[in-house]
Structure 1
Amino acid sequence: MSIRKSSLLLPRTSNWMGVSALGAAMLATTALPSMADEALADLVESVSPSVVTIIAEQKAAPSPAQGQSFDFDGHPFGEFFKRFGGPEGFNMPQRGPAQGLGSGFVLDEAGYVVTNHHVVDNAETVTVRLSDDRTFEAEVVGTDPLTDIAVLKIDAGKGLQAVKLGDSDAIRVGEDVVAIGNPFGLSSTVTTGIVSAKGRNISDGPYAEFIQTDAAINKGNSGGPLFNMDGEVVGVNSAIYSPSGGSVGLGFAVTSNIVEHIAADLQDDGQVSRGWLGVSIQNISPQLAAALGIDASSGALVADVVADSPADGVLEQGDVILSFNGEAVDSSGDLPILVGTTKVGTASNLTILRDGKQETVTLTVGQHQAASAQSDTPVESEAAGTSLGVTVAPLTETVRAETGIAKAVEGVVVTDLQPDSPAARAGLQRGDVIVKLGNQDTFTPEALKAALDSEKTDPALVLINRAGSQIFVAVELV
């Protein structure tokens, strides 16, 4: 890589002193900090005490039993032992507890802290370290995997500084934003950028909406705040797109308007109460608009209505939902967020297009059931001593309606994955439907467990359905 020097060309003049004065003036100007720099430094100084480090510790993994392979990663002779085996009588060390680092911020002075669900998921102990290096063991008040938000509680007494949640709907593409967090454990790291896009859906569920930013976000930034230039949190940094694992300028933050609703719900009773209509919806392509005899291609097309749901008897197949409680529904992705953040039991007005005519209907929002903890089942084989590292739920009519999974698809839907689990390493994602493991159908969680118990091949061949397409993946079980 060549470095090209730039030179400052000044106009010729016979007045040597004039040129020197001009050059000195220009140098003096460039040496002074700009008003924008001062404002940014003031902002960072004011909000940094509210940003915290999250330390999540999982229990120690047991040493491998006889006949099982040992993970030599991190061992000083790991590569040698991988190739030639350990010496006779060599005792494999007990693996230490896994420790994950993330970021978060103080939501209020009572001790509530916001971070990501995936930062504290499956942790046995969670510690919050403040900017002044005080540490406190945290209680996990509640988490919401569908938006990747978690709320913690610490008993710090006095001295906590909270930040204000801003209006993420008001921020515009191109505005400056500031990310503060702990990438790779480097606490209080500040990066700046702009809002690259709004309303992103990165397949993390129908209830999460993201702000895209080019502010550098790396491992350890997860759960940290994304600030606007007024010092308000407009997003919670949650994900990056990176082929290399480092920042490439594609970061994503859950919008603060969603965070505000989820955090308040979790503070109330530790659970998220989501509104639910009971419809399966889809976008309207120009071809569908022509077939329906309508001019616009905006709105959400009702593809199916769940029996005995709030929408049953009110909405019909073929209806186009144009607005919900006065909020425009430009695409099918808008409706789950609008409904999900509506209080259960609320009488709501929907503007719809039916048979070419616009009309208003009213229904009472019900309780979302698709993510019910009672229907979610972790898949683990006690007989084989292996685990896929997934949590699955049966494909009920409610789940199909909420996820858009067609009636012809059979299997169990993945509702959660453990980090670095066999399923996660194989590339499975939330929302995938596991159709077969080996040569056995997996139409229920029990059937998937039975298939895992009897599976003799490693890696196991797993057939999944993702967004309507059937694909095979190989999952290493040991």
Structure 2
Amino acid sequence: MTAFVTGDPDASAIALPPRPNPRIFMRICLTTFRRAICAFLLLAVPAQAADAPMLETAMAKVFTVHSADSEDRFLGSAFLWGDGTVAISNAHVVGAAQEVRLTDAAGQQQIGRVIAADPSRDVAVIAVTSGGQGGLIPAATPPQLGAEVWALGAPMDVEFSVTAGRVSGLDRQVEPASPIRMIQHDAALNPGSSGGPLVDATGALVGMNSQIADGSRMFIGIAYAIPARDLARIVQGLIAETLPPLPQLGLTARPVSRQLAEALGIAATGLLVDAITPASLAETAGLCPGDVILALNGAAIAKPGDLAFALEAAQQQGQLDLTVLRGGAVVILMADIATVDSPLTLRDISNPQRRKEYTLQDLGLTLNGARITAVRANSPALSAGLTATETILQIDGQAPQSQATESFAQPVLLLVQGATGTRHVLIDPWATGKSLHPVGGANVLDRDVVVF
């Protein structure tokens, strides 16, 4: 086909290509689109399919951690380590507990005995029965910046959850008093994730999730894990009873910022001592408020975290050599670090005397027959969610007769009738968990209650 451009006497003929058939053109576009989608799926599906077995294998070695008592309080997460005879978690997860209840992904429960805990490094070791399977295998090499990682555990008590992210930072010393440089990542962590494993694309252990960024209890995009290489050293030391606790210097100090350095007329380096604890190692060495610590055993102290690593290294030598700036002059102070005969183990737990029996009145209830007429402020009854608008129908499954004035030596279960119907309320005066308070006439914060 030939077209002519009109309106111009000098116009020349321009040859145009044939117009394509619309149906054929649409068919070509659809075919191209389908091929692109198929190519994308062929690339994406194998990666997802490859992740599933790896994550299932790793999750089979993860536990949820609860208190080993009738309260069954949720504490956090843990996972199998080494040959599977122990599990590890954070020291802040187990707290002062000597035993914890562990549940695996298959629903199997066992009572694990806490055999060692290191609060300074935030690692705890729990003796378990693994059923013949070993623990997670540490990665052969440390993770690289940007590497994909998965966090396994029970955030917010949502058990056996997995979140994905990437390593967003390396060698982060989150706690200046702890000689640990953590892995920073952005796989979502929340309360309950602590003690769970961080694994790589092969399912190998990268670290143990331990903290989220300061400023919020909830995940804000920054999470921290103790590296697997540090875990290997710490756990082995706790099991072999060769890892001593970090010495406590007994001082508070702050970094010498540029502003402080200008005020003092010194270089902006070292730690300015604020206070000294009486009868502490720092006082024995002769440190005073106002001193600037420049080095410990020859290791320069440029920032607060350097002191923890220098102190850990000096512990092996049994002696402290402190280089201090005092009144414009450099002073050398020395002190012996007392040797520790026993390794880091569970703290002694003293059992305070508690009341062995109680009545419903002791729990904070004022009764008129079986009707509740008042609930005392800050009482176990109020914490359990009882209100002055309810009537007791049963006490421990029995009609309320003489039990209303009876003394109980164990938690008591009440069936009460209120404006919204009947419900059970368990009152435990010895409970150590967080108190729950009634909202809108019902204990809506009680997670044991499920609405179907």
Q: More displaced, 155-164 or 358-367?
A: 358-367
Q: Is residue 2:32 matched to residue 1:22? A: yes
Q: Which residues of structure 2 form unaligned runs of 5+?
A: 1-18, 364-377, 379-430, 438-452
The alignment yields a C-alpha RMSD, in angstroms, of 5.1
Quick check: 2:73–2:433 contact (8 Å CA) kept in 1?
no
Quick check: 2:285–2:335 contact (8 Å CA) kept in 1?
no
C-alpha distance in 2 between matches for 1:36 and 1:135: 33
* Aligned CA distance change for structure 1 residues 122 and 365 (closer, same or farther; 3 Å): closer
C-alpha distance in 2 between matches for 1:40 and 1:327: 45
SS at match of 2:68: strand
Partner of 2:125: 151
SS at match of 2:113: strand
C-alpha distance in 2 between matches for 1:382 and 1:301: 49
Q: How does 1:204-353 map to 2 (within 5 A)?
A: 211-229=183-201, 231-240=203-212, 247-256=219-228, 259-269=231-241, 273-277=245-249, 279-296=251-268, 298-303=269-274, 309=281, 312-313=284-285, 320-321=292-293, 329-340=301-312, 343=315, 345-347=317-319
C-alpha distance in 2 between matches for 1:323 and 1:42: 50
C-alpha distance in 1 between matches for 2:336 and 2:130: 42
CA drift of 1:177 comes to: 2.5
C-alpha distance in 2 between matches for 1:238 and 1:318: 34
Partner of 1:400: none
Partner of 1:396: none
SS at match of 1:141: strand
Give the TM-score, by structure 2 length.
Answer: 0.57
Quick check: 1:193–1:215 contact (8 Å CA) kept in 2?
yes
Q: Is residue 2:20 matched to residue 1:48? A: no
Quick check: 1:127–1:137 contact (8 Å CA) kept in 2?
yes
C-alpha distance in 1 between matches for 2:153 and 2:53: 17
* Aligned CA distance change for structure 1 residues 277 and 160 (closer, same or farther; 3 Å): same
Q: Is residue 2:77 matched to residue 1:106? A: no
CA drift of 1:222 comes to: 2.5
C-alpha distance in 2 between matches for 1:26 and 1:352: 68
Q: How does 1:344-363 map to 2 (within 5 A)?
A: 345-347=317-319
Query: Of the candidates 163, 172, 184, which is equivalent to residue 199 of structure 1?
Result: 172
C-alpha distance in 2 between matches for 1:236 and 1:315: 37
Q: How does 1:156-167 map to 2 (within 5 A)?
A: 156=130, 158-164=132-138
Q: Is residue 2:31 matched to residue 1:58? A: no
Q: Which residues of structure 1 form unaligned runs of 5+?
A: 1-11, 60-96, 388-417, 426-478
After superposition, what is the alpha-carbon deviation per residue over 1:178-221, rounded to whole angstroms, capped at 9, x for unaligned?
10113355543221113445636479x75676554331223432
Quick check: 1:179–1:226 contact (8 Å CA) kept in 2?
yes
Give the TM-score, by structure 1 length.
Answer: 0.54
CA drift of 1:122 comes to: 5.2
Partner of 1:441: none
C-alpha distance in 1 between matches for 2:202 and 2:322: 35
Q: More displaced, 145-154 or 304-313?
A: 304-313
SS at match of 2:74: strand
* Aligned CA distance change for structure 1 residues 189 and 301 (closer, same or farther; 3 Å): same
* Aligned CA distance change for structure 1 residues 13 and 284 (closer, same or farther; 3 Å): farther
C-alpha distance in 1 between matches for 2:319 and 2:150: 39
CA drift of 1:133 comes to: 4.6
Quick check: 1:106–1:163 contact (8 Å CA) kept in 2?
no
After superposition, what is the alpha-carbon deviation per residue over 1:264-290, rounded to whole angstroms, capped at 9, x for unaligned?
343234985223445543211212212
Query: Of the candidates 105, 113, 117, which is equivalent to residue 139 of structure 1?
Result: 113
Paired residue type of 1:301: L
Quick check: 1:310–1:364 contact (8 Å CA) kept in 2?
no
Partner of 1:116: 90
Indicate the structure (1 or 2) with the bigger Cα radius of gyration. Answer: 2
Partner of 2:151: 179
SS at match of 1:22: helix
Aligned residues: 342
C-alpha distance in 1 between matches for 2:181 and 2:323: 23
SS at match of 1:287: helix
Partner of 1:404: none
* Aligned CA distance change for structure 1 residues 335 and 221 (closer, same or farther; 3 Å): same
SS at match of 1:290: helix
CA drift of 1:138 comes to: 1.2
C-alpha distance in 2 between matches for 1:278 and 1:113: 33
* Aligned CA distance change for structure 1 residues 313 and 125 (closer, same or farther; 3 Å): closer
C-alpha distance in 2 between matches for 1:374 and 1:125: 13
